[in-house]
Amino acid sequence: MRHDTDVLLNEERVFKPGQEIIDVLHVKDWESEIEKGKDIEKYWAEKAEQFVWFKKWDKVLDDSNEPFYKWFVNGKINMAYNAVDRWITTDKRNQVAVLYVNERGHEKKLTYYELYREVNKFANALKNLGVKKGDVVSTYLPMCPELMVVLLACTKIGAIHSVVYSGLSVGAFVERINDCNAKILITADGTFRRGKIIDLKRVSDEAMLQCPTVETVVVVKHTGIPIEMSELSGREIFYETLIEGEPAELEAEEMDAEDPLFILYTSGSTGKPKGVLHTTAGYMVGVATTLNNVFNIHDGDLWWCTGDIGWITGHSFLLYGPLLLGTTTLVYEGAPDYPNPGAWWSVVEKYGVTKLYTAPTAIRHLMRFGSKYPNLYNLSSLKILGTVGEPINPEAWMWFYKNVGKEKCPIMDTWWQTETGMHMISPLPIAPLKPGSATMALPGIDADVVDDEGNPVPVGKGGLLVIKKPWPAMFRTLYNDEEKFINTYWKEVPGCVYTAGDIARKDEDGYFWIQGRSDDVLKIAGHRIGTSEVESAFVSHPAVVEAAVIGKSDPIKGEVIKAFVILKEGYQLKTQLIEDLSRHVRYELGPVAVLGQITQVDSLPKTRSGKIMRRVLRARDRGEDVGDISTLEE
Ligand code: 6R9
C-alpha cells in the first residue's frame, strides 16, 4: 500500500460564486443540505419521489446483510421510462434530448419524441433476436446517437448492458465479452478521430472469433467506410436492416428496484478486469440527484460531458443523468484539438453550452496551446464547469477558471468512481472553492480519511479514503466474483466500511484533497489501468521474461507507464525493441496504455512469497526512502 503522501499542498486561494450564479441555485445553503443528508434514508427517499414508479418501495434501505445493501426494497420502476417515455407527454416532447456533434462539424439531433421512437424500435428488434430480461448485451461503439439508443433499449426491456470502450483492443475486448457471456454485440464500421477513421469492425471481427456466446452481431453504419460482413455464421446484421419495420411503440418492462441495470468493467490491482454491477432504482436516484445538485440543472441548459460512454462518467453523466432530468445532452465524437485546438471552444460557442464537464488531462492538453484559443470564441453561455477522473492540479484549475470560465463559472471538482456510480465528494456551486480540492462529501454521503485501523487521521495527514454509510448508486457486487467484492472493498479497515483505494487528506476546513490511488492502479489520462494488466502484456512478448510497472507522473496524462523488464538471453533493449514493446503493449491493451519509459533490469524486488514490491521501485524511482522492506526477498 502507498502511504507516501503526507504532502501538504500550499494552496490557499478561495473562490466564491457570483450573485448571478447564486440567484438560480437549487441549493443555496450548503451546510443545511449536508445536515439534512445525515438522515440518509429520509434524504434519499425524498429524492426518489422525482421518478415515476410502477410501484413504490416498502423500505428505503435494507442493511440486514451488509455489504450487500438493498435500496428501495420491492419498488418497481424502469430506467428508460423515466429517462425518455415520461417526457413525451410533457412540453419537453419536442425538445432536443441528444445533440450529436463530431469533429468534422456534422451534427444530428434527436428530440425526446424521436429518441422514444428509436429506442422502441431497437428494443423491439432486440426482443425479436430473443433477448430477454436479464440477458447481457454488449456494445463496442463510438460516441454516436445509436449507442445511446441501444443502451436505453436494453434498459427498456430489462436486458443488462455491458459497454466495451471503443479504445480497447482485441485482448481486453474478448475478456470483457466472455466474462459476462454476452449474447449480442452491437458495433460499428468505425469512428472519427483526429481526421482519420478508425476501423472498429476489424477489431470486432478479430474479437468475435474468440467469443462463442455472442449469437448476433449488429453493425451500425456510422462513418460509411466499406466493411465486409462476415460469411461465418450468418450472425451479422446491419442495424438499419434490423430495425426496419419495427413498431415505434413498446411498453416498458417493470423492473425490480434491485434488478441489474448494467455491468461496466474497470481495472483493479490484479490482472483481471472487474465487472462492476449496478442495479436499477438506487443508481437512478443517486445519479439524477447528484447531477442536479452539483450542476444545478435547469430548463434551457445545454449539458456537455466530454467523457466517453465507455467510461462510468459517460454512463452516469452523459447518458442517464441528463435524460433523467429532462435536459439536452451533447455527445461529441472526436479529438479535442482537431481540426485545431479551438475545436471544443467553437462547439461551446456555436451551440451555447451552459455546463461543461471534462477531465483534468484534457484541460492540461488544451492548456499547452495557450489562452489564445479559448479567447477566440464567445464562451459567455457557460455557467458552471466541472472536472472528473483524477486530481486537478491548481495550475490547470486556474487556467480553466480564467480562460474558459472567465472567472465567473464555479468549477465542480467531482470525486467518484465506477463503483460509486454517482458523485461522492464534490462542491455544490454555492461552496467556496479551493483549486485542487474536491471540497466535502455531498449531502447524503459520509466520507472520511482514516488509518489502517479505521481511526480518523489528524488534519493534513494522508490516509485511506473511506465511505462509512451506504449510498443509493453504490455498486452491488462484482459480476461473478462476490469474494473479490468483499475482500477488495470491505475488508481493509475494521467495520463495514467501503475503502475506495485512494489516499486523501483533509485540511483544517474539513476539505478533502485526493492524492491518488493507494493500490496498484494507474490513472493514465483519467483512465484506470492495472499495473498487472500491463505487466502481463509485457510478458506476452517473446523478448520479456518478467516485468514490473509503476506510474510515472506526466505533465499532460497525469501518469504514464514506467516499466522495468527482465529480457530473455540474447535480447538487448535497443531502439527497435523499445518500439516493438511499446507497439505490443498498445496492441494488447489499447491506446490507453501510454508508455513513458522502459528500463532493463536483472532482477525485481519481490517479497518472499514472490509478489513484486512495486512500492520499492516507486520509492527508488522518486529518490525516496523505501520504507519497511522486511518482507523483501534476499
Ligand atoms: C469517475 C471515475 C476512479 C478513480 C478514483 C480516483 C480518481 C476520479 C477524481 C479522482 C481526484 C477527482 N478520481 N475523480 N481523483 N479527484 N475529482 O473517474 O471513475 O474510472 O472508476 O476512477 O479516479 O483515483 O478512485 P473511475
Q: Is 124 in the pocket of ligand 1 (CB under 6 A)?
A: no
pLDDT recorded at residue 612: 83
pLDDT recorded at residue 234: 66
pTM above 0.95, yes or no: no
pLDDT recorded at residue 633: 64
Q: What is the mean pLDDT of each run of 10 residues along the chain (634 residues)?
A: 43 92 97 98 98 98 97 98 98 98 97 98 98 98 98 98 93 94 97 95 94 96 91 80 97 98 89 92 98 97 97 97 98 96 98 97 93 97 97 94 98 98 98 97 98 94 96 98 96 94 95 90 90 88 93 93 94 94 91 92 83 86 78 62
**Residues near 105 by beta carbon (within 8 Å), at least 6 away in sequence:** none
Q: Is 153 in the pocket of ligand 1 (CB under 6 A)?
A: no
- The CA 536 to ligand 1 mean position distance, Å, reads 24
Helix (H, G, I), strand (E, B) or coil at 292: helix
Strand locations in 209-273 (E)? 216-220, 236-238, 255-256, 260-266
- The CA 72 to ligand 1 mean position distance, Å, reads 27
5/23 Cα distance (integer angstroms): 39
Q: Is 313 in the pocket of ligand 1 (CB under 6 A)?
A: yes
Nearest protein Cα to ligand 1, atom 7: 390
ipTM exceeding 0.95? yes
Measured in degrees and rounded to the nearest 5, phi and psi for residue 479 equal -55, 125
Q: Are 84 and 112 in contact (CB under 8 A)?
A: yes
Nearest protein Cα to ligand 1, atom 12: 415
The CB density around residue 57, as the number of other CB atoms within 10 Å, is 20
Q: Are 495 and 454 in contact (CB under 8 A)?
A: yes
pLDDT recorded at residue 4: 37
Q: Is 435 in the pocket of ligand 1 (CB under 6 A)?
A: no
Ligand 1 pocket: which of 290, 411, 416, 433 to mutate (most atoms within 8 A of CB): 416
Q: Is 308 in the pocket of ligand 1 (CB under 6 A)?
A: no
pLDDT recorded at residue 530: 87
Q: Is 417 in the pocket of ligand 1 (CB under 6 A)?
A: yes
Q: Is 290 in the pocket of ligand 1 (CB under 6 A)?
A: no
pLDDT recorded at residue 56: 98
pLDDT recorded at residue 630: 66
- The CA 233 to ligand 1 mean position distance, Å, reads 41
567/583 Cα distance (integer angstroms): 17
276/90 Cα distance (integer angstroms): 35
Measured from the CA of 418, which atom of ligand 1 is nearest? 21
pLDDT recorded at residue 210: 95
- Domains of the chain as residue ranges with CATH: 1-78+254-520 (3.40.50.12780), 521-602 (3.30.300.30)
Ligand 1 pocket: which of 363, 478, 488, 502 to mutate (most atoms within 8 A of CB): 502
- The CA 8 to ligand 1 mean position distance, Å, reads 20
Q: Is 473 in the pocket of ligand 1 (CB under 6 A)?
A: no
- The CA 116 to ligand 1 mean position distance, Å, reads 32
Nearest protein Cα to ligand 1, atom 15: 390
